[in-house]
Amino acid sequence: MSYGENKSINNALNRSYALLDNTLNSDTFYELRKQILLDDESLTENEKSEAIRIITKIYDYAKLLFNEGTKRICENCSQECLAITYCEYCVRNYLKANFSNWTSGNVIIDNLIQECQMKTINPDLIPEWIPYNNLQNIEYLTKGGFSEIYTAAWINGAYYEWDSEGQKLKRLRETGLVQAVILKKLENVENANQNWIEEAKSHLNISNKWGEIVQCYGLTQDPSNGDYMLVMNKMNIDLRKYLQQNHNQLTWKERIQIVTYITLALQRIHEENAIHRDLHSGNILFKNRFSISDLGFCGPADKPLKSIYGNLPYIAPEVIIGKEQTFKSDIYSIAILMWEISSGQPPFIDCEHDYDLAMNIVNGIRPKIVPGTPLEYKNLMKQCWDADPSKRPDINTLDNKMREINLFYQSKSNESLTQPEENNNFEMENYTNSSKLFTSKLHQFDNLPKPRNATEEEQEAFHSNKSYNNFHIPNNIDDFDKLSSKKNSTSKMSRLFKVSSKRLSNIFKRSSKNDTQNDYKIGAMQQQTMNHHIKDNDEDEAHNNPNLHSEEQDELELPEDI
């Protein structure tokens, strides 16, 4: 795992983790690890201080996240606080005292942001109102669904740490860096109903809590036209483009790794009792790892009654016929993403997103499974796209199963998983000119039958002339019936101290059947603790400040041979 550019610190942190028993409670684990670092003769005094700063940041975030651990009396406000490097009450009081110094001009928006700020758990995870004049170099990027997307430079940048001496929050600008962000225009906010407001609140809270959700820094408003915009973390590429560029080089090991990241992200959302409602490969974004975007802000704020919003191939059949979106409709979308990751192509690429496609989906037609798809992966995918929502797994079951599959693959060497030459020569279907099919939009369909599963004969008849019928990714590894894992229990907070995709198999081997969710999730928590200290400049090069460097920069990326 990499905690920055200093190899001595990296090695010392890894050693300190390896020497300790993960079943220790978090307070004991932290204190023992700190002592190991202080006694490490390979480190200079400055390096020891930096190493301890890193583990303390993780420790603080975990305590606030789980609302547990040893408390202390804040020397400033006299409240019992959990954090060591800051006081969560002082941070919230600072934000509250600043309420009178800003306004969006919209009471609903003001209340939304203020309520989210009062739930702040970390100084670099604070949604806020961002004055438009603080954004420069605004350039149009693309249009997705009902939203125009722009890139910009946020001059002041986000808050990144608490100054205990000055009793104030410090901004990224003080480090000399300029933050690159994405602006997403929101349509018809003035007409937003209460459901939209609640989803907006959910998105701001969740994205500033979990590292698997693309962080939303807050909102702004273009004074020239009154349009509100989300200000979001700038990512590198979406899953659709990633697959288009890398599909022929991806092994099954890497494909399954991607799906595992996505299921973990969706688990975070569902754990917060939220539904995404518009999962597709255009809002699965990559930057060091895959994250989910657009939670809670999908579609127009004033969506008409009896209409549905989304990217049709990813919409669950029960939603197409007019039923409410549920956790299980998100699971259906995951199944379609699993197929897209296995095939490298968007689903139903040669079909118009119209009534005919809707009728086919409701009647059980699904994308043709790629020959060579691993058996366990295929069966899980089919279960997730079953026409009956009650037969689909919940997110915990899906996540556990995907990590079992992932464990099996991560235990294999990259050499044994190299794609055969014939697959590397496969030419992807050219779909770059069909972008109109890849965005979410409003749909309204009438007189559709009750969803059902199609027979194999019906599936074969539909796919007999489709362009991907002869596509093949050979299954070059053993049967998944060989899956196994060693079992051990680990305290959920101590596990936050370390994770590495290069050592995922070791993590899984420590996990117990009933507590497997926590082991793989460690990385996201560490990422959320540290990754907001990497703030991009215009060239995405702001990675050289050791005080801002994310320990997740290298540890949660896909395998190095992608």
Question: Taking residues 230-257, what's their average pLDDT?
Answer: 93
pLDDT at 221: 92
Share of residues in the chain with pLDDT > 70 (%)? 71
Instruction: Out of 86-100, 352-366, 457-471, pick the least confident.
Output: 457-471
Ordered structural domains, the chain, with CATH: 7-94 (no CATH), 105-234 (3.30.200.20), 237-413+438-468 (1.10.510.10)
Between the alpha carbon of residue 155 and those of residues 10, 21, 103, 174, the distances in Å are 32, 44, 19, 10
Q: DSSP code of 324? A: P
pLDDT at 20: 82
Could you give phi then psi for residue 374, rounded to 5 degrees?
-55, 140
Q: Nearest to residue 294, comparing CAs of 264, 269, 329?
A: 269
**Left if phi > 0, otherwise alpha if psi is -120 to 50, otherwise beta: which for 306?**
left
pLDDT at 468: 46
Instruction: Out of 39-48, 63-72, 345-354, 405-414, pick the least confident.
Output: 405-414
Residue 541 pLDDT greater than 90, yes or no: no
Confidence of residue 236 (pLDDT cuts 50, 70, 90): very high
- pLDDT tens digits along 393-443: 999 999 999 999 998 887 776 555 544 333 333 344 444 444 445 666 666
pLDDT at 448: 84
- With b for 16 or more beta-carbon neighbours within 10 A and e for fewer, the 361-382 pattern comes to bbbbbbbbbbebbbebbbebbe
| Token reading at 441 | 């939009």
d(CA 49, CA 451): 60
Question: Taking residues 328-332, what's their average pLDDT?
Answer: 97
Question: Taking residues 262-287, what's their average pLDDT?
Answer: 92
Cα dihedral 521/526/531/533 (nearest 10): 160
- pLDDT tens digits along 241-253: 999 999 999 999 9
Cα dihedral 525/527/528/534 (nearest 10): 170
The CB-side HSE value for 474 (13 A sphere, CA atoms) comes to 13
pLDDT at 420: 33
Put simply, whether the predicted model's pTM sits higher than 0.85 gets the answer no
Confidence of residue 446 (pLDDT cuts 50, 70, 90): confident
Mutual angle of helices 252-271 and 516-530, in 10-degree steps:
80
Confidence of residue 193 (pLDDT cuts 50, 70, 90): low
Q: Nearest to residue 370, comparing CAs of 494, 227, 255, 518?
A: 255
Instruction: Out of 297-301, 333-337, 383-387, pick the least confident.
Output: 297-301
Helix boundaries (H) for 392-432: 395-410, 421-424
pLDDT at 513: 37
Q: Are 314 and 347 in contact (CB under 8 A)?
A: yes
Cα 383 to chain centroid, rounded = 23
Between the alpha carbon of residue 550 and those of residues 66, 100, 191, 234, 274, the distances in Å are 21, 33, 40, 16, 28
